[in-house]
Amino acid sequence: MARTKTQAHVASKRAPASAPPPSAPALAAAPPKPRHAADPVFDQLAVAILDGSLPPGSSLPPERELSERFGVSRLIVRQAVHRLADIGLVRVRQGGPTQVVHPNEARDLRVIELVYMVGQGAARDVRELIERQFLHGYSLLFLAAKRASKERLRAIAEMADDYAARGAPGGEMSAFERRFFTALAEATDNRFYVLETSWWFKLTEGRPERPPVFTDEQRQEFYREIARRLVDDRDAARFYLDSLSPLLDMLGTFVLMGGQKTEAAR
């Protein structure tokens, strides 16, 4: 019975805040148009592994069965499976079945990108990505305030103040956040934060946007206060975190309730 469910799931699938606030990440958009014959096979098997339909420790169906199911050659199936093995989602055994590995055990950063690209918009997906965005922003503000010169902080503050002075319009939010948090990352003097911030914005480029979690007025005051605190050295990072903590608490409660509903439905 479990196998039938997995097969139905895999056959039916066709191929998730930038560093923070106040936009939530987009999770439900389809992956980019396949560029290789193995892409649809890879995408569907990856989704099944990431959402648990193919649980850790289980075996992938034989190549012949996957070939028939997807309507491709066994060579194409083999290429897709080897790509999964390359990023650590399966373990290929010579002469034996290919075993599914728990995604949390994967040590390849491409798995993070894959999680974002195939996320289905479940409550947990949304919560995890927003937490990552918001807390990354906190780290940038904290380090930039400690490391950057007054002149540099003033320039970053002016960027936020200018956005607030124009009413912090939602339509300009993504472009502003990219400039603002990239400038903060560069001000940390930490290559990991610079590269990670650049990678994140590249990952989210061209993705559909979700509605902002703040109104224009709230966003206007939020960034105006960030600007003041950066210039006055009044712990902008703490203000940022305190302002967003209620949202993080709400997301945690939402996910917990979602889990309880799921259990009740079983």
Domain range summary for the chain, segments of one domain joined by +: 2-16+27-117, 122-265
- State the CB neighbour count (10 A cutoff) for residue 73: 13
2-16+27-117 shares its CATH topology with 122-265: no
Angle at 127 between CA 123 and CA 130, to 5 degrees: 140
Residue 248 CA to residue 254 CA, distance in Å, equals 10
Helix (H) / strand (E) containing 90 = strand 90-91
Q: What dihedral do alpha carbons 63, 65, 71, 74 form, nearest 10°?
A: 20
φ/ψ bin of 60: left (φ > 0), alpha (ψ from -120 to 50), beta (otherwise):
beta
pLDDT score, position 116: 78
pLDDT score, position 119: 64
Q: Tell me which of 1.10.10.10, 3.40.50.720, 2.60.40.730, 3.40.1390.10 is the CATH number of domain 2-16+27-117.
A: 1.10.10.10
Q: 122-265 domain in CATH 1.20.120?
A: yes
Residue 20 CA to residue 134 CA, distance in Å, equals 4
Residue 23 has pLDDT above 80, yes or no: no
Contact indicator for 31, 15 with CB cutoff of 8 Å: yes
Residue 194 has pLDDT above 50, yes or no: yes
What's this model's pTM, rounded to 2 decimal places?
A: 0.72
CA distances from residue 108 to 95, 104, 118, 129 in whole angstroms, order as listed = 25, 10, 16, 18
Residue 139 has pLDDT above 60, yes or no: yes
The two tokens of residue 91 are: 């373990």
Residue 145 has pLDDT above 90, yes or no: yes
